[in-house]
Amino acid sequence: MDYISRIGVSTPRKESWDKVTGAAKYNGDIVTPNALHAKILTSTHAHALIKLIDISEALKSDGVQAIITGDSFPALSGPMIEDRPPIAKDKVRYFGEPVAVVVANSEEEAMRAIKLIKVVYDPLPVVNSISDSIKSGATLIHENLGEYHCPVEDVCPQPGSNIADHMKIRKGDMNKGWTESDIVIESSFSLPQSDHLAMETRNSKAEILPNGNVIIHTSSQAPFSVKEELSKIYNISEGNIIVRVPLVGGGFGGKVAVDLEFIAYLASKTVGGRLVKVANSREEDIASSPSKIGVEAKLKIGATKDGIIKALECTYYVGCGAYADTGPRMAKAIAVNCTGPYNIENVQCDAITIYTNHTFVTSYRGFGHTAFTFCIERILDQLAASLGIDPIELRMKNAIAPGNLSPTQDKLTLSNTGNLVKCILRLKEIMNWQEGSRIITDNGMIRAKGMSCFWKTSTSPTNASSGVILTLNTDGSINLNFGGVEIGPGMKTTIAQILAEKMKMDIDKIHVVMDVDTQTTPKHWKTVASMTTFMVGNAVIQAAEDLIQQLKNLGSIVLKCPPDDLDIKDQKVYLRDNPEIYAPFKDLVHGYQYPGGSSIGGQMIGRGSYIMKHLTSLDKETGKGKVGVSWTVGAQAVEIEYDPRKYTYRLLNAATVIDVGKVINPKTASGIIMGGMSMGIGLATHEEFLYNDSGILENTSLRTYKLIHFGEQPKYIVDFIETPQIDAPFGARGMGEHGILGIPAAFANAISLATGFNFNKLPISPELIWKTMTGGRYDTF
């Protein structure tokens, strides 16, 4: 097939047919009869000293090869603060924390043996909430907080406290802001911890070869982090670590943390390097592996009577559970974007990362943005109600615009931010806002609409980078190799589309290396932050240009003309002024052979790379600096039908209008947005970790941790605005996470409007509505 432009064309995923035939292989699908199996014994206490671990009975159990504990290979891990032993040592800090690992011939023998390990705990007072943790005299979760090594310079744990980090934003003059405000509103907000719940639970395999190579097979969004962290913590040369990642069954941020890879490596090490497999059960995946942050926040907002926001003061306590992982980075993301996509000149924000005796956290779709979006968008609705202004109108008045400064005082442009007002206006139309946002229907139900805007930037490391290698087959087709992991959003295909467009060739002649192997795949920072299309897209454009140059150079010899007279299309290098004179790629890419045999050129390899530019670290006192190359803005709405007799609701419609710069693959893009919205509905209505008084997580299975099922979803409406980002591939902004961002807020706004009560806590269950409105006693019925 000849070249047709693939930009803006719905293109099925390259791996589509593998995924509908069962042929697609995920990490656990590679059957390895030679593998030993590791099973993890996890803590039954939320906070306790480990007095004794008796493994003697377990060691005698059939099939057991070895048992390791935190004392076997002591080390501390963590990307921001090295505070976490992969297996607990001396004490446990959350329910579900790994305490011992059994390596056995089979999974069932390992399962049997872990039951025979006796652990004696000496319980400590449990820090069971953020408010417990920040009380004066609170029990310390990390007694030696001041002694931990922090691999990043801008994270500073506070010794003698449960504070992992404190991030500040100081912009403008708060006194001026309050003075100019005619109205000031204050509110508190609460969002619980919850789970990523990728359908594929985390699982890893490790073996250590006689030559010293450590081979890790894992389900990860960050294979290069696995390599780098293993290297650092266990002092192995990076070149000796090879991490292989096939298709991943969903990530949502949860597979960014290096977690089971440590356990698999230690397990293999303890049995002489044999291949060892470790896989989480669903219960372990929920309770033991990292989860989403919990947040408690207080906001105070001031505005003129016309609805111009003059000041915002906010305090966010970001609960990171027992270990920091990327918690401080999510607190930073909250702080640096705390205003939402609104122009507020006077801003004060403190985002404090707090340890508790809950499951530790890691990145989660939205990277903290969902939390502050909930708070700011709820308080905006409260402000709108107090001022008697339509919530949409209030947002239009304050919408961020070119020339405004972000909370970190970074200058916004149309290119780096997009057009929020256009998104809002389109949303208004889609949601038929003019019919009213609260309507009582004939059967006594209340139909209510709530909306929310959002913005998100990457808050990546300032040196995050990506690379692409293009190799060629003798038929002139291209192999595309890059380090982004295919976790679901189809970015392997998106990048192939970009390459096909640059090379002006049939996408079917582009073969994507689907798996990642850190030894042979160029590094991509991590498959996170909605940055893969942007970063790898820029790298692949560079690689394509590199390849085109090579093709033209050789073509100029073969076709006897200057390189600049040549162009490429349909796998041919041709003379621009006479396309009938051309050389096909297949005659060039592995060297050109003259009649008679002598050859010139040689194998072509295209290479491209990208590194984030102009990002800076932030001023410690004011937060001034640049945290991301761009923002993506949008507006969302949820329409519900509320039953005032039963205090229940039904989701009718949910809409997103997002300025993505350029839609590369429309169906894939709207699918990703819908998926995000679906997760947002989960956070809004269902999902939360429920801890009992002893800090034990009570909903660790899908029987009690509920996801929405088929048929309960609203009708989704997704629309795109295209304001190109100049430095992005074909103008395309990041959009992978964004569908989730404003949905909880829009839903809470709709419920608050329907009920006349303010709902500032998630999730909003019918029982919560009933309790809030009646006081929660049956006899008030």
Partner 1 sequence: MLEVLGTTVLTLNVNGEDRKVVAKPSDTLLYTLREELGLTGAKPGCENGDCGACTVLIDDWPIKSCLMLTVEAIGKKILTVEGLKNAPIQKAFVENWGFQCGYCTSGFLMVCHALAQIHPDADDHVIEEWLQSNLCRCTGYEEIENAVKAILKKEV
Partner 2 sequence: MIPFDFEYYKPTTIEEAVNLYNKLKSAGKKPIYYGGGTEFISMARMHNVYTEAVIDIKGILECNIHELKNNELTIGSAVTLTNIAESNFFPLLSLTVKRIADHTVQDKITLGGNLAGTIIYREAVLPLMVADSEIVLASINGERRVPIMDAFNKRIQLADGEMIVQVIIKDNFITLPNIHVKRTKNEKIDYPLITIAALKDNNKIKIAFSGMCDYPLRSYIMEDILNDNTVSSMDKKISNAINNIPGKVLNDISGSSEYRKFMLHTMIHEALTNFEEVN
Enumerate binding residues for partner 2 (CB under 8 A).
Answer: 107-108, 111-112, 115, 281, 283, 645-646, 685-686, 690, 698-699, 703-704, 706-709, 711-712, 765-767, 770-771, 774, 776-778, 781
From 8-16, 424-432, 506-514, 568-576, span contacting partner 1 (CB under 8 A): 8-16
Q: Considering the rule CB under 8 A, would residue 657 count as an interface residue with partner 1?
A: no
Question: What is the C-alpha to C-alpha distance for residues 434 and 425, in angstroms, rounded to an integer?
Answer: 11
Residue entry with tokens 């803590």: 43
Beta strands in 473-553 (DSSP E): 478-482, 510-512, 516-517
Number of residues this chain uses to bind partner 1 (CB under 8 A): 57
Q: Is the separation of the CB atoms in 131 and 63 below 8 Å?
A: no
Question: What is the C-alpha to C-alpha distance for residues 213 and 201, in angstroms, rounded to an integer?
Answer: 26
Question: For residues 201 and 632, which CB has a smaller minimum distance to partner 1 in the complex?
Answer: 201
Question: For residues 10 and 187, which CB has a smaller minimum distance to partner 1 in the complex?
Answer: 10
Torsion of the alpha carbons at 303, 305, 308 and 310, rounded to the nearest 10? -30
Question: What is the C-alpha to C-alpha distance for residues 396 and 405, in angstroms, rounded to an integer?
Answer: 17
Backbone angles phi, psi at 439, to 5 degrees: -125, 130
Q: Which of 709, 775, 778, 779 forms a contact with partner 1 (CB under 8 A)? A: 709
Q: Work out how close the CB of 763 gets to partner 1 at its nearest, in angstroms, rounded to a whole number.
A: 16
Question: For residues 108 and 306, which CB has a smaller minimum distance to partner 2 in the complex?
Answer: 108
Single-letter amino acid, residue 271: V
Question: What is the C-alpha to C-alpha distance for residues 540 and 609, in angstroms, rounded to an integer?
Answer: 7
DSSP classification of residue 580:
E
Q: Work out how close the CB of 751 gets to partner 2 at its nearest, in angstroms, rounded to a whole number.
A: 13
Per DSSP, the three-state class of 682 is helix
Per DSSP, the three-state class of 643 is strand
Q: Which of 143, 702, 757, 767 forms a contact with partner 1 (CB under 8 A)? A: 702
Question: For residues 108 and 767, which CB has a smaller minimum distance to partner 1 in the complex?
Answer: 108
Q: Work out how close the CB of 461 gets to partner 1 at its nearest, in angstroms, rounded to a whole number.
A: 26
Question: For residues 24 and 242, which CB has a smaller minimum distance to partner 1 in the complex?
Answer: 24
Residue 201 near which of partner 1, partner 2, none (CB within 5-8 Å, type-dependent): partner 1
Q: Which of 2, 31, 597, 614 forms a contact with partner 1 (CB under 8 A)? A: 31
Backbone angles phi, psi at 315, to 5 degrees: -125, 125
Question: What is the C-alpha to C-alpha distance for residues 310 and 300, in angstroms, rounded to an integer?
Answer: 11
Q: Is the separation of the CB atoms in 729 and 533 below 8 Å?
A: yes
Q: Considering the rule CB under 8 A, would residue 677 count as an interface residue with partner 1?
A: yes
Q: Which of 104, 672, 696, 748 forms a contact with partner 1 (CB under 8 A)? A: 672
First-to-last C-alpha distance (Å) of the chain: 70
Q: Characterize the bridge pairing of strands 578-584 and 346-355.
A: unpaired
Q: Which of 4, 120, 199, 600 forms a contact with partner 1 (CB under 8 A)? A: 199
Question: What is the C-alpha to C-alpha distance for residues 418 and 448, in angstroms, rounded to an integer?
Answer: 29
Q: Work out how close the CB of 430 gets to partner 1 at its nearest, in angstroms, rounded to a whole number.
A: 16
Q: Work out how close the CB of 494 gets to partner 1 at its nearest, in angstroms, rounded to a whole number.
A: 12
Single-letter amino acid, residue 609: S
Q: What are the angstrom distances between the C-alpha of 768 and each of 4, 190, 688, 704, 775?
A: 54, 13, 13, 17, 10
Residue 767 near which of partner 2, partner 1, none (CB within 5-8 Å, type-dependent): partner 2
Q: Is the separation of the CB atoms in 524 and 532 below 8 Å?
A: yes
- Please count the other Cβ atoms lying within 10 Å of the Cβ belonging to residue 475: 11
Which has the closest alpha carbon to 656: 743, 723, 731? 743
Q: Which of 290, 294, 321, 488 forms a contact with partner 1 (CB under 8 A)? A: 488
Residues of this chain, 716-745, that bind partner 1 according to CB under 8 A: 716
Q: Work out how close the CB of 65 gets to partner 2 at its nearest, in angstroms, rounded to a whole number.
A: 17
Question: What is the C-alpha to C-alpha distance for residues 66 and 58, in angstroms, rounded to an integer?
Answer: 9
Q: Work out how close the CB of 217 gets to partner 2 at its nearest, in angstroms, rounded to a whole number.
A: 20
Question: What is the C-alpha to C-alpha distance for residues 674 and 654, in angstroms, rounded to an integer?
Answer: 9
Which has the closest alpha carbon to 344: 372, 317, 307? 307
Q: Which of 121, 148, 224, 252 forms a contact with partner 1 (CB under 8 A)? A: 252
From 120-128, 372-380, 469-477, 668-676, span contacting partner 1 (CB under 8 A): 668-676
Q: Work out how close the CB of 774 gets to partner 2 at its nearest, in angstroms, rounded to a whole number.
A: 8
In our burial notation (b when 16+ CB lie closer than 10 A, e otherwise), range 490-509 reads bbbbbbbbbbbbbbbbbbeb
Per DSSP, the three-state class of 571 is coil
Q: Work out how close the CB of 371 gets to partner 1 at its nearest, in angstroms, rounded to a whole number.
A: 20
Residue entry with tokens 């103008």: 731
Question: What is the C-alpha to C-alpha distance for residues 614 and 629, in angstroms, rounded to an integer?
Answer: 8
Q: Work out how close the CB of 514 gets to partner 1 at its nearest, in angstroms, rounded to a whole number.
A: 11
Residue 488 near which of partner 1, partner 2, none (CB within 5-8 Å, type-dependent): partner 1
Q: Which of 14, 28, 476, 548 forms a contact with partner 1 (CB under 8 A)? A: 28
Residue 24 near which of partner 1, partner 2, none (CB within 5-8 Å, type-dependent): partner 1
Question: For residues 585 and 649, which CB has a smaller minimum distance to partner 2 in the complex?
Answer: 649
From 247-255, 392-400, 559-567, 616-624, span contacting partner 1 (CB under 8 A): 247-255
Question: For residues 182 and 712, which CB has a smaller minimum distance to partner 1 in the complex?
Answer: 712
3-state SS of 22-34? Answer: CCCCEHHHCCCCC
Residue 778 near which of partner 1, partner 2, none (CB within 5-8 Å, type-dependent): partner 2
From 22-30, 230-238, 306-314, 608-616, span contacting partner 1 (CB under 8 A): 22-30
Per DSSP, the three-state class of 99 is strand
Residue 722 near which of partner 2, partner 1, none (CB within 5-8 Å, type-dependent): none
Question: For residues 153 and 779, which CB has a smaller minimum distance to partner 2 in the complex?
Answer: 779
From 138-146, 163-171, 249-257, 374-382, span contacting partner 1 (CB under 8 A): 249-257
Question: For residues 14 and 524, which CB has a smaller minimum distance to partner 1 in the complex?
Answer: 14
Question: For residues 282 and 590, which CB has a smaller minimum distance to partner 2 in the complex?
Answer: 282
Backbone angles phi, psi at 603, to 5 degrees: -60, 135
Task: Specify the length of the chain in residues.
Answer: 781
Question: What is the C-alpha to C-alpha distance for residues 342 and 407, in angstroms, rounded to an integer?
Answer: 10
Q: Work out how close the CB of 781 gets to partner 2 at its nearest, in angstroms, rounded to a whole number.
A: 6
Question: What is the C-alpha to C-alpha distance for residues 62 and 470, in angstroms, rounded to an integer?
Answer: 50
From 25-33, 270-278, 396-404, 766-774, span contacting partner 1 (CB under 8 A): 25-33
C-alpha of 360 from chain center: 16
Q: Which of 82, 83, 200, 641 forms a contact with partner 1 (CB under 8 A)? A: 200
Residue 686 near which of partner 2, partner 1, none (CB within 5-8 Å, type-dependent): partner 2
Residues in contact with partner 1 by CB under 8 A are 10, 12, 15-26, 28-29, 31, 33, 108, 197-201, 247-252, 279, 281-282, 487-490, 667-668, 671-672, 674-675, 677-679, 701-703, 707-711, 713, 715-716
